[in-house]
Structure 1
Amino acid sequence: MTTTNPAHRCMLYANGTPTVVIALVLFLLMLAVHWAGLRLRLIRREQGPDADIKGGSTIEGSLLGLLALLLAFTFSMANERYDARRAVIIQEANAIGTAVLRADLYPDTTRQRFRADFRQYVEARIAYYTAGVDPDQIQAALKQSDQYSAAIWSRATELARQTPHVTPANLMIPALNDMIDVVTTRDATLVAQIPASILYVLMALCLVGSFIIGYMADKSDWMLAICFSAMTALAIYLIVDLDRPRQGLITTDAMHQKMLDLRAMFPEK
């Protein structure tokens, strides 16, 4: 059984610059370097025909092909992580639901105590998600969930030592172990983001590709440059947004509904 360390984890969820700002800055920079490529090409042409680059089209095609390959690779990486985050939320909801149902194997008094703690634990796990990128709220939610899971585990292990409760304990202990372990799994999927070095290289290739397109153009075609820059920046936006599970347009809210549905297991009296 493993538990989370709130002090260690709380700062790992806050993301920096908003995704839309990153995409907009990249778009403007791509237009700027495209203009720089056009200007440099014009200057070289003024120096004479010997200044022309031989095999420029081959270089341009190879560079853009490399950019397309890296874009596809990075998008696939971000999408896999997004799918993993969605799956682990369902896994946690199922694990909690199983543990709550197995509390019904105990006598009524013990069952009520278990359910009271489970109710608080579910609320703490819901608060963990709804905290967004606020480190203080995330830390508080993690601390609460650890406290309630520790209380539930302590009661279950104590009852396991008592002969009348051996059979329920044999079912409850594995369920609790899964419920607590999945917290670490979910935590790991949230912090498993695309390495910054890959994103930096990808953005650098975008800028170099835009420069090469401008440099190799026979004449200024700003409509083409704007379309290329906009679509590339949009692709980067989707990649970064997929990689940020707690902010942006692409979220796991639909899967988190399964955690909210657990409240139905604790009807109000």
Structure 2
Amino acid sequence: MNTSLLYQTPGYIIVSLLFVMMLLFNRIGFKIHQRQTAKNDESVSAGLGPVEGSLLGLLALLLSFTFGMSASRFDERRSVIVQEANDIGTAILRCDLYTDSDRKELREDFKLYVDARVAYYNAGNSKQKNSDAIKESEKQSGRIWNKVMMLSQDKENTLRSQQMIPAVNSMIDIVTTGQAARYATVPDSILWLLFVLILTASLIVGYSNSNKKINHVIVSGFALMTVLTVYLILDLDRPMRGIITTDASVQKIIELKNLFQNE
């Protein structure tokens, strides 16, 4: 689990602070420009047009790059969850290949395994709940694997095992893939660079203001649109909390409980 301060801090707190800092840096830049204007020194600010344009272009590029990175990783997490649901469902259905007694035991273990996986996805950002759910998942998957391996020793189960073993193996492997995808977030260094660039752009925009007063509507609008984009990036990068979640994909795993309704 990502334990960095930036990742653990709620997104709304980050963007709220960023919004205030943007307004502050814009005002600082404006005040610096006013002081230079009072000294009849316009030589520096006059040549800042290309710098301002380049900086805002770079900011737009980095915002686009970071958004694309977070969106692609969000899509990957959703697809892995759906794939896990398919793998578990395939393994459950292949329990029907066995005799009634073995089938019943396997399906009971699978029912507990599905409950453990649902608990994992419902754990949110709680470290303790995540840890408990992972341990329970490993416990139940281990029982299933041992049971399938034991049944494979019987020659009568040769064809059954050839179908069941790959299914259980895929079911176990996809958990590792899912955990890796969940914690593959946008690197903190990129986000810090984005924040620094946003504040620098705010400073330059304020410095380049040639009016006698700050247009608070335009400045606030620019800051608001910027922090909303940042919030969307952070929200996509944190699938277990926030507004944008993977709940629709997790529902596919929850629906696996329907396979045990008559038991």
Shift of 1:16: 1.4
Larger mean Cα displacement after TM superposition, 259-268 or 180-189: 259-268
Take 2:8 and 2:133, find their aligned partners in 1: how far apart are those partners?
22
Give the count of matched residue pairs. 260
The alpha-carbon deviation at position 43 of structure 1 amounts to 0.3
By how many angstroms is 1:223 displaced? Answer: 1.2
2:234 paired residue number: 240
Q: In 1, Cα distance between the equivalents of 2:45 and 2:232?
A: 35
Select which of 90, 99, 104 maps to 1:112: 104
Q: Contact conserved, 2:25 with 2:203, CA < 8 A, in 1?
A: yes
Aligned to 1:257: 251
Q: Residue 10 of structure 1 contacts residue 136 of structure 1 at CA under 8 Å; is this kept in 2? A: no
Q: 1:59 aligns with which of 51, 55, 59?
A: 51
1:88 Cα offset (Å): 0.4
Equivalent position of 1:75 in the other structure: 67
2-structure distance, mates of 1:196, 1:31: 23
Q: Does 1:182 align with 2:169?
A: no
Aligned to 1:222: 216
SS of residue in 1 equivalent to 2:8:
coil
CA contact (8 A) 1:95 1:179 kept: yes
1:45 and 2:37 correspond: yes
- Deviation per residue, 1:116-140 (Å, 9 max, x gap): 0000000000000101111111111
Residues 89-104 of structure 1: pairs in structure 2 closer than 5 A: 89-104=81-96
**Equivalent residues in 2 for 1:153-164 (5 A)?**
153-164=145-156
**Structure 1: 5+ residue stretches without partners:** 1-8
Per the normalisation by structure 2, the TM-score is 0.96
User: Partners of 1:50 and 1:118 in 2: how far apart?
Assistant: 75
The AA in structure 2 aligned to 1:221 is N
Separation of aligned partners in 1, 2:190 and 2:42: 37
AA matched with 2:229: A
2 CA distance for matches of 1:61 and 1:101? Answer: 60
Secondary structure in 1 aligned to 2:45? coil
Q: Give the Cα separation in 2 of the matches to 1:268 and 1:37.
A: 69
Decide whether the 8 Å contact of 1:121 with 1:148 is kept in 2. Answer: yes
8 Å Cα contact 1:190-1:245 kept in structure 2: yes
| Unpaired segments ≥5 residues, structure 2 | none
Aligned alpha-carbon RMSD (Å): 1.4
Q: Could you list the per-position Cα deviations for residues 125-170 of structure 1 after superposition, in whole angstroms to 9, with x for gaps in the alignment?
A: 0000101111111111100110110011011111111101001000
The answer (yes or no) to whether the contact 1:45–1:51 under 8 Å persists in 2 is no
Identity %: 43
